Structure 1
């Protein structure tokens, strides 16, 4: 049996990527959520907690990594961010390989990765789906999040490839500044197209 088609799912903050990932799951497609994996690895007893504490003292506790303190230590500091990525990315890679092994009999799998292009992860997938919405919708959604400020939003955006560039490099674009039903129809279309391509 051939290996699954690997779909990279990405999109900038506030674009609705988590909603689209759930829609892929609803279509029976296994989804590896890189952000959720990072939360688990950084949670209580997580595999990267000790290494993060060693590099960024005072950013962890009994509950694992204190994400607020860690964000304050790395946001806007490229060297610190790269040091954090050197700790986290290999650990996520191990979990991603285990996910692939567990779903080796699937026809499609999705890697949900916020910084897919920024980390070069697009080179490891067979197709890329970019989730997109207009800038006003994106900003309004993001600023509604607990603990979010305009300054933090701008700092996060500065680390992400512009939406227009992502859309230009995508195999498929799923718009979320529309109704849920229309977005779901787009996801179903992507799944049908990829399955038809695989069946050839």
Structure 2
């Protein structure tokens, strides 16, 4: 089974591309959705133990968590040490479920794919990208987003140019949704061709 890693910096349209891959018939493991689920489940008390006061009504209060992360230089590393193993476990369970069904290809939506070394566990990489000005406009239009928070997130992410250089496929999300949908179809078609041709013998 071919494991395709989908990634992209904040505001680059990765989540929208994941929906287009799902629309094209590929099962998608959405890391953001997994984290959201974990924050209202098993990860919530673990996060609160390290970031006291973040547990509210049985779930992690993301705004309070963001406030505390901004105050602690090692905050993101501590948070990742809690959440990443749980996300990896959910991802492994997803892969095994799809493998049991005989699925040919799956999309692993991984926000910090390069940053976390996840490229080692995928067979091909797709990067969602767009012009930095479009990215900036998208991100700053989000609720509760500030210039400072945006810059803090960008500083933790591998530069877009490097992601593009290391990708097997790039989707420019700065155009219409139809253009992106067409690019997704081209990528799926090419991956099927390569898979049939025996390029991914270890997949």
TM over 0.5: yes
Separation (CA, whole Å) in 2 of partners of 1:19 and 1:82: 27
Query: Any stretches of 5+ residues in structure 1 without a counterpart?
Result: none
Q: Which residue number in structure 2 is paired with residue 85 of structure 1?
A: 80
Task: Mark the runs of 5 or more structure 2 residues left unpaired by the alignment.
Answer: 198-203
CA separation of 1:76/1:121 partners in 2, compared to 1, >3 Å: closer, same or farther?
Answer: farther
Instruction: Tell me if the contact between 1:75 and 1:81 (Cα under 8 Å) persists in the aligned partners.
Output: no
Q: Point out 4+ residue stretches in structure 1 off by more than 4 angstroms.
A: none
Where do residues 34-45 of structure 1 align in structure 2 (5 Å cutoff)?
34-43=31-40
2:18 to 7, 21, 37: 21
Tell me the matched-pair count.
195
Match of 2:180 in 1: 183
Whole-Å Cα distance in 2 between the matches of residues 75 and 39 of structure 1?
20
Which position in structure 2 is the counterpart of 1:52? 47
Partner of 2:194: 197
Query: For each residue in 1:140-182, what CA deviation from the matched residue of structure 2 results, as whole angstroms up to 9, or x when unmatched?
Result: 0111111111111111111111100100100000001111111
Is 1:99 equivalent to 2:94 in the alignment? yes
Aligned match for 1:121, one of 108, 118, 139: 118
Residue 122 of structure 1 aligns to a residue whose secondary structure is helix
Which residue among 150, 159, 178 is the counterpart of 1:153?
A: 150
For 1:88 and 1:78, how far apart are their aligned partners in 2?
A: 18
